[in-house]
Amino acid sequence: MTGLRIAEIFGPTIQGEGALIGEPTVFVRTGGCDYRCVWCDSLHAVDPVHRQSWARMTTDQVWAEITRLSRGNPLTVSLSGGNPAIQDFTALIARGQQAGYRFACETQGSVAKPWFGDLDTLVLSPKPPSSGETVDWDAFDACIMAGQGAVQTVLKIVIFDDADYAWAQQVAARFPTLPLYLQPGNPQVDPAQPVDPQDLSDRLLWLVEKVTADGWFAPRVLPQLHVLLWGNKRGV
Ligand SMILES: C[S@@+](CC[C@H](N)C(=O)[O-])C[C@H]1O[C@@H](n2cnc3c(N)ncnc32)[C@H](O)[C@@H]1O
Ligand SMILES: Nc1nc2[nH]cc(C(=O)O)c2c(=O)[nH]1
Ligand code: SF4
Ligand SMILES: [Mg+2]
C-alpha cells in the first residue's frame, strides 16, 4: 500500500522543544517507529496496537490539512512521529516550500533519507542509555551526511540521569560543530495522567546546575515547553 502513514496532524501550536522553541508550527506525526524507547512520550504513534488509528494519506491530503490548519499562512511544519525517516516526504517538502513553508524533521538518526537535505532544520535526537536503545553510529553519520543540504542540523538529547549526561558529553565531543540542545526527560508520559510540574522543574534545575557546575557551556538547556503548558495532552 502506498501513501504516508499518519498518526495525527495538529496545530498551529508552538514548537515546545529545542532549536525552534516558541515557533508557530504545524506538526505532522507519522505512524511507526524502528525504536522502542522505554520512556517514549508518543507511543500512540509507535506501538502497532494503535495502528488502526493511523491514516493512509496522499501527499495532497497531508498538504491540504497543513494549509487548512495554517489558514494558508506559510509557517514551519515539523515532521515527527514515530520515526518520519521511514517514510518519503520528498514531495510534501517540495510542495510546501514552493508555497513558502519551512520544514523541520525530528528523528533519532537511525535511518537516513535523501530528503533530509531539502529540510530547513534537521533535528537529530540520538537516544541515551536510559532509553534502552543503542545508537548505530554508522547510520547516525549517514543521517548527518544526508542532511548536508539542510539549512541547519542540530542535536537534541534527552537526559534522565547521570549516565545519560555523561553519554551526552561524549556525543558532543564527537560532533563539536553541531548546535546541541539538552532537555530533561519526562518520566510521566501517560496522556490520561497529569504531570507533576514540581518534578519537571526539579529535573530541569538538576540539569542546569550540572552544566553550570561543570562549566560545560556548549549546550543550551531547555524544558519541553508544551509539557509545562499542557502536560501530556495530545494535539498541542
Ligand atoms: C516522540 S520523538 C519523535 C521523533 C523521533 N522518533 C525521535 O525520537 O527523535 C520527539 C522528541 O521527543 C523526545 N522525547 C520522547 N519521549 C520523551 C520523554 N519522555 N521526555 C523527554 N523527551 C522525550 C525524543 O527524544 C525526541 O527528541
Ligand atoms: N508543541 C509541541 N512541541 C513538540 N516538539 C516536539 C514534539 C514531538 O512530539 O515531536 C512536540 C509536540 O508534540 N508538541
Ligand atoms: S525513537 Fe522517538 S518515537 Fe521512537 S520510541 Fe524513541 S522517542 Fe518514541
Ligand atoms: Mg513529544
For the chain, give the percent of residues with pLDDT over 70: 100
Does residue 8 line the site of ligand 2, with CB under 6 A?
Answer: no
Residues 6+ apart with CB under 8 A from 97: 103, 118
Write the pLDDT tens digit of every residue in 90-142: 999 999 999 999 999 999 999 999 999 999 999 999 999 999 999 999 999 99
Does residue 135 line the site of ligand 3, with CB under 6 A?
Answer: no
What is the rounded CA–CA span in Å between residue 168 and residue 110?
17
- Residues 44-67: what's their mean pLDDT? 98
Helical residues (DSSP H) of the chain, grouped into ranges: 59-69, 90-98, 137-146, 162-174, 197-214, 225-230
Report the chain's terminal Cα–Cα distance, integer Å. Answer: 29
Does residue 46 line the site of ligand 3, with CB under 6 A?
Answer: yes
Closest Cα to atom 6 of ligand 2: 17
Q: Residue 123: nearest ligand to its CA?
A: 1
Q: Which residues pair with residue 10 across a beta bridge?
A: 27
Q: pLDDT-derived band of residue 65, with 50, 70 and 90 as boundaries?
A: very high
Q: pLDDT-derived band of residue 1, with 50, 70 and 90 as boundaries?
A: low
Write the pLDDT tens digit of every residue in 133-192: 999 999 999 999 999 999 999 999 999 999 999 999 999 999 999 999 999 999 999 999
Q: What is the mean pLDDT of the chain?
A: 98
- Tell me the domain boundaries of the chain: 4-164
Query: Using an 8 Å Cβ cutoff, are 91 and 63 in contact?
Result: no
Q: Residue 26: nearest ligand to its CA?
A: 2
Return the CATH fold of 4-164. Answer: TIM Barrel (3.20.20)
Name which of 220, 221, 14, 223 is nearest 104 in CA terms: 14
